[in-house]
Structure 1
Amino acid sequence: MKFVISGFYGLGNTGDEAILEAIIDNLRDEFNNPDITVFSLSPEQTAKEHHVKSVYRAWRHDNKGKIKALKEADLLISGGGGLLQDAYPTKFLFGPLPYYLLIVLLAKLCGTKVMFFSQGIGPVTSTWGKILMKMANMADFITVRDQYSKDLVQKLGVSKPETVVTSDIVFAFKAKPDDSCIKTLPLTGSEELVAVSVRPWFEKVKQFEQVAQVLDYLIEEKNVTPVFVPMEGHHDKTASEKVMAHMKHADKCLMLGTDFTPNQYLNFIGNCSLTIGMRLHALIFSTLMGVPHIGLSYDKKVESLLKRSGMWNYSAVLEEINVDDMKKNAVSLLDHHEENVQIVKSNAAAMRSEALRNIGLLKEKFVK
């Protein structure tokens, strides 16, 4: 069977690259020698890393390559991840919504079936975004990673394709042992590690000072070693440096490099006792590895994940962070570590089963 995969690939975002790896690995598990083409901003790198065909994703060039791949494909997999949203500027033909929906339109013009795969939908708040979302009715089938996304899809008038709630395909990620990250750090092996994942989020900066206060407290009270995990290159590295700039004990912190693979970051997080994170996929990695976590939710997708992982009561909406509560919650998760590990692992097993349904439903709907 021939597949084209369209998503936010080849741009160095660890979460999206983890999505791609999970899709490819699971397609290969379920299909005999599938023919896979990925639309990527770094097609040569994507082809080399995943042993797939790859075509430049943007409209600037190789549009003939896109059309050829779609004409030959049995199915366009659009996703996963948060592709259909207008949190970033959306103009007539500029922004995520027009791009991904135009790829869907192109696939349908080529006679190719379309599945929105393990997607997180929204936010979609602009008038133009809501108009564009009607184009999602062109899809033949939709799976979304949380109930919020299904509700929003239906609210936005996408009623033609069946929509099923599963979970993020990264819960079906196939971890491979790799200690590359931890080997780069000056550790003795006796440290209690806390993974920290922060990201820029428009003009909001107060959370950097708040996280700094919590980390200083944990260093003083629990003798932990915070390690920043920059899951989107220099963007997260800069955000991490902003946290450390507010800290009294920044010298007790460490930071990983920006060029590790999703599998390497996943294995590192598995060595930590706790994660404090903004990045959705840092929290997903924590869930996968049974690591208790505190999430700072800047988006409904983060809140939805935290509710399913069992960690929402320890977490907070970004604009509503209470530093004292966060300190107390972090200490509680550390003091009752094994109990919380079991909660997270149990919920992770359920979400892994739901993630694998994405592939099962694909076979059910599109394989004759």
Structure 2
Amino acid sequence: MKKFVISGFYGLGNTGDEAILEAIIDNLREEFDNPDITVFSLSPERTAKEHNVKSVYRAWRKENKEKVKALKEADLLISGGGGLLQDAYPTKFLFGPLPYYLLIVLLAKLCNTKVMFFSQGIGPVTSGWGKFLMKLANLADFITVRDQYSKELLHKLGVTKPETVVTSDIVFAFQAKEDRSGIESLPLKGDEKLVAVSVRPWFDRTQQFEDMAGVLDNLIEEEGVTPVFVPMEGHHDVDASEKVMSYMKHPDKTVMLGKDFTPNQYLNFIGECEMTIGMRLHALIFSTLKGIPHIGFSYDKKVESLLKRSGMWKYSADLDNIDVKQVTENAKAILHNREAESLTVSKNAEGMRNEAKRNLHLMKEKFFA
């Protein structure tokens, strides 16, 4: 029996990260016979129950002996996936995502356990302390990243010792289960032209909310769409969605999906829509998986990288340069040519699904051959 420890941003209610975890666990069980899996989670009881795994509290406040025990017994620490190694959020000495995840890696190596950075997106890393800490990433035995930009950034930051391979986000290997709870929860007649909308807070910036409102009002007036806000990180995205509505002329023509659905339920809901307009990376990944054409507002290189791979970058915009009139025209072009655009997205999704599965194949080849 192979034993794995999974370290990531788990148990905090972020749909994208929970989708990553579900995809890793499902694919480990597909590739290995009855694997023993322990997840470091901020909500260990919930994580253990939802995924039928062992779980240890992820932060340093407690259960440190349990962390060490799990790592000592593991065949492999899976660090990832997702954007763990970045200092966009405050990083002070040992506080922040970058020192946390790298210290877990250091602890694993002290326990003589192999380490794989798994399907990660790297950066931004701009602080002097962050760049210094990144040298610890050379402790990894093998790295897969979800885009070429991440590989190039690792090399620029001096992470050159482990072999690094570009694959794709493991959520492209998400194993969907049929569930219509999302759409059935909404007060719909059934003939609406649904557009999934995903917005998130991004530091103190608000212009994108006003821009999104303008685009949605235009599409309501000119195309008769029904925008449905999909809050993929609880109250944070609910608040952001309400800010967009506060700028709209027609907020009464919009709908808000509940904030407590599972990744699988959000995925299936997005699959019921005509298109997606959004910021959240995994809302755009869900759209790609379901062959739903999409427009992204890119606030980070990871979003731009995904949109280029899905074939939708030509319709999308950088967060700081959103032209409401142009984005409206792009959305109308997608709606009027939806079948062809859906085929493009589906074809590109298949390639990324194969690349996502490659994360597991490479793991087996490097550590369990």
Shorter chain as denominator, the TM-score bin is: over 0.9
CA distance in 1 between partners of 2:84 and 2:254 (Å): 34
Counterpart Cα distance in 2 of 1:119 and 1:295: 20
- Aligned equivalent of 1:322: 323
Counterpart Cα distance in 2 of 1:60 and 1:193: 45
Distance in 2 (alpha carbons) for counterparts of 1:352 and 1:324: 34
Question: How far apart, in 2, do the equivalents of 1:248 and 1:90 lie?
Answer: 40
Q: CA deviation at 1:68?
A: 0.4
Aligned partner of 1:355 in structure 2 is: 356
C-alpha distance in structure 2 between counterparts of 1:249 and 1:335, whole Å: 22
- Distance in structure 1 (CA, Å) of the matches to 2:250 and 2:318: 26
Partners of 1:362 and 1:263 in 2: how far apart? 25
Partner in structure 1 of residue 262 of structure 2: 261
1:242, CA displacement in angstroms? 0.1
1:205-250 superposed Cα distances (whole Å, 9 cap, x missing partner): 0000100011011001110000000000000000000000001110
Superposition deviation, residue 113 in structure 1:
0.2
AA of the residue aligned to 1:288: L
Deviations 1:18-73 (A, max 9, x none): 00000000000000000000000000000000000000000000000100000000
Aligned ranges 1:263-342 → 2 under 5 Å: 263-342=264-343
* Partner in structure 2 of residue 126 of structure 1: 127
* Structure 2 partner of 1:90: 91
Deviations 1:108-144 (A, max 9, x none): 0001000000000000000000000000000000000
Q: CA deviation at 1:78?
A: 0.0
| Paired residue type of 1:329 | N
Question: How far apart, in 1, do the equivalents of 2:150 and 2:353 lie?
Answer: 18
Give the drift of 1:264.
Answer: 0.0
- 2:304 partner amino acid: E
Q: Does 1:53 align with 2:54?
A: yes
Quote the Cα distance in structure 1 between the aligned partners of 2:103 and 2:211. 41
1:237-252 correspondence runs (5 A): 237-252=238-253
Q: Secondary structure at the match of 2:297?
A: strand
State the one-letter code of the partner of 1:77: I
How is 1:192-271 mapped onto 2 (pairs within 5 angstroms)? Answer: 192-271=193-272
C-alpha distance in structure 2 between counterparts of 1:309 and 1:294, whole Å: 10
Q: What is the CA-CA distance between 1:100 and the residue it aligns to?
A: 0.1
Percentage of matched positions with identical amino acids: 77
> Distance in 1 between the 2:186 and 2:19 partners?
23
Q: Distance in 2 between matches of 1:50 and 1:178?
A: 17
CA apart distance, 1:316: 0.5
Aligned partner of 1:178 in structure 2 is: 179
CA distance in structure 1 between the aligned counterparts of 2:225 and 2:160, rounded to whole angstroms = 50
Note the C-alpha offset of 1:11.
0.1
Give the total of aligned pairs: 368
Is there any run of 5+ residues in structure 2 with no aligned partner, and where?
none
- In the alignment, the residues of structure 1 paired with residue 133 and residue 323 of structure 2 have an alpha-carbon distance, to the nearest angstrom, of 38
1:17-96 mapped onto 2 (5 Å cutoff): 17-96=18-97
1:141 — aligned with what?
142
* TM score, norm. by length of structure 2: 0.99
Provide the C-alpha distance between the structure 2 equivalents of 1:46 and 1:319, rounded to a whole number of angstroms: 37
CA distance in 2, matches of 1:321, 1:190: 30
Task: Tell me which amino acid in the other structure corresponds to 2:18.
Answer: E
Tell me how far apart the structure 1 counterparts of residues 55 and 168 of structure 2 sit (CA, whole Å).
26
Q: Which amino acid aligns with 2:316?
A: S
List structure 1 segments (4+ residues) > 4 angstroms apart after TM superposition. Answer: none
User: How far apart in 2 are the matches of 1:255 and 1:177?
Assistant: 21
| 3-state secondary structure, aligned to 2:320 | helix
Query: How high is the TM-score relative to the length of structure 1?
Result: 1.00
Equivalent AA in structure 1 for residue 82 of structure 2: G
| AA at the equivalent of 2:189 | T
SS across alignment from 1:319? coil
Provide the aligned C-alpha RMSD in A.
0.4
> Aligned partners of 2:186, 2:261: CA distance in 1, in Å?
13
SS at match of 2:12: coil
Q: Deviations over 1:312-340 (max 9, x none)?
A: 00001100111111000000000000000
CA distance in 1, matches of 2:193, 2:329: 17
SS in 1 for 2:276: strand
User: CA separation in 1, counterparts of 2:49 and 2:178?
Assistant: 20
Aligned AA (2:303): V
Inter-partner Cα distance in structure 2 for 1:97 and 1:208: 29
Which sections of structure 1, spanning at least 5 residues, go unmatched? none
